[in-house]
Amino acid sequence: MSDPSSSSANHAETFALSLRVLIAEDNRINRLMVCECLKRSGHTAIVAENGAEAVELFAAENPDVVLLDIVMPVMDGLEAARKIRTLPGGATIPLLFLSAVDDEPSKLASLKLADDFIAKPIEPKLLAAKLSAFFRQVHLQHQLQEQVKQTQSALEILKEENELGAYVLDRMLQSAFQADDCVRFLNRAAANFSGDLVLYSRSPAGHYIVLLADAIGHGIAAAFNVFPLMSIFTAMTRKGNGLDTIVRQMNLSLRNLMPVDRFISAAIVSIDPVTLKMELWNGGLPPILVLDAKGRTKHRFESSHLPLRLATDDEIDCSLIQHQLRRGEEVMLFSDGLLEANRESTQVGLERVEALLCGKTEDTRFDTLAASLEPGSGLVFHDDVSLISVRTSRMSQGQN
């Protein structure tokens, strides 16, 4: 007794391999023979009696394989093959000639248009063997096309999810302080999501506080890494917590949430608009610059701490650098994506940025750096780029 499951599997395989074959043959006996051969193999025949019909049926039926007699009325097989090859899908479809021509030049000429030919009179077993090889090829092509289709569908879903995530993240960032006349910033993502995070707030005492964070990598994975910092920064600055407390809490939260191989370079700055006393912490970011009225670098505050997540709560150094600013000076922070354009070293990139700023007025420096990010600037950026400018000349001395 046969196994039903085996029979079912064989039927499924036959169904999966069932193809639609366009046959153009003016000889009725040959047409019937080919159709019967296809039928026994589980395939479907689409029949034309001349080349012109074959071209029309190809465009209408989108077959998987084409069999063309060479000598036919109205339009011969060679001309029909030329026309089919120009139609959508025709350039790659398996095409075989049915031919009684036996001279070598004619055979070679036909093979310029077709993948193979079957000599007449047609031998059913030879026909079945040759078609079988092409059917396997077509079946593999169908599998590949289905995989491509599934991949494209998955990519479309991922694109929609990325766009939704980017929209939600953007709305959340908009709920924080917006750039103003004193604090300007930009964040250019290398992908849909930026692994850089720029935040700005005012403390209850009216201090200006900015954070720049740069997660390792870019895209959605990097964006999720910096995501926890948003709520911590917003809540703690509005409560008036000190920078050292904020840094410690951010590090603790990241250690609890992030894998061991992930870390975030970050810098946080607080400026008292009345006394112009500045406090800062830099863990892994490029130097924080203090510029004079002519755009020259007066001070560079290099990173003196490990990036967030690398140190334990007991090991992390939250000590702050204190600096007295002067009215008219400008503080600039940026991620290393700005410095590493054209695969430059960090030092070469820093020299380029300082040269761009030197001699520029306060009103044009930020725009000069922003313009260097645009196409046509001669620079190619391979990572997320963020920039923050804090102008002491524009600071409001009242509380938030």
Average pLDDT on 64-89 reads 90
Q: Where are the alpha helices (DSSP H) in the chain?
A: 4-16, 28-40, 51-61, 77-86, 104-111, 124-174, 220-239, 243-257, 336-339, 346-357, 362-371
291/4: higher pLDDT: 291
pLDDT tens by residue, 160-197? 766 666 666 666 555 556 778 899 998 887 666 667 88
In the block, residue with structure tokens 């695969």: 343
Average pLDDT on 74-88 reads 91
- Span 4-143: which CATH code? 3.40.50.2300
CB 23 within 8 A of CB 57: no
Long-range pairs for 45-48: beta carbons < 8 A, 24 or more residues apart: 45/21, 46/20, 46/21, 46/22, 47/23, 48/22, 48/23, 48/24
User: Domain extents for the chain?
Assistant: 4-143, 176-394
Question: Mean of the per-residue pLDDT values for the chain?
Answer: 84
As given in the structure block, the two tokens for residue 52 are 């012109």
For residue 232, what pLDDT is reported? 92
Distance CA 52, CA 29 (A): 20
CB 278 within 8 A of CB 331: yes
CB 273 within 8 A of CB 258: no
Distance CA 308, CA 289 (A): 21
Half-sphere exposure (Cβ direction) of 39: Cα atoms closer than 13 Å: 8
**What are residue 18's DSSP bridge partners?**
none
Average pLDDT on 376-398 reads 86
For residue 225, what pLDDT is reported? 73
Percent of the chain with pLDDT over 70: 84
Cβ partners under 8 Å of residue 272, min gap 6: 205, 206, 207, 278
For residue 223, what pLDDT is reported? 65
Distance CA 387, CA 212 (A): 8
Average pLDDT on 139-157 reads 78
For residue 7, what pLDDT is reported? 42
CB 400 within 8 A of CB 176: no
Tell which CATH architecture fits domain 176-394.
4-Layer Sandwich (3.60)
Calculate the alpha carbon distances from 261 to 19, 181, 184, 286, 314 in Å.
Answer: 51, 39, 32, 21, 19
Average pLDDT on 16-38 reads 84
Instruction: Find which of 3-12, 50-59, 98-107, 213-222 is predicted with most confidence, using mean pLDDT.
Output: 50-59
pLDDT tens by residue, 86-138? 999 888 888 888 877 666 666 666 777 888 888 777 777 777 777 777 777 77
**What are residue 48's DSSP bridge partners?**
24
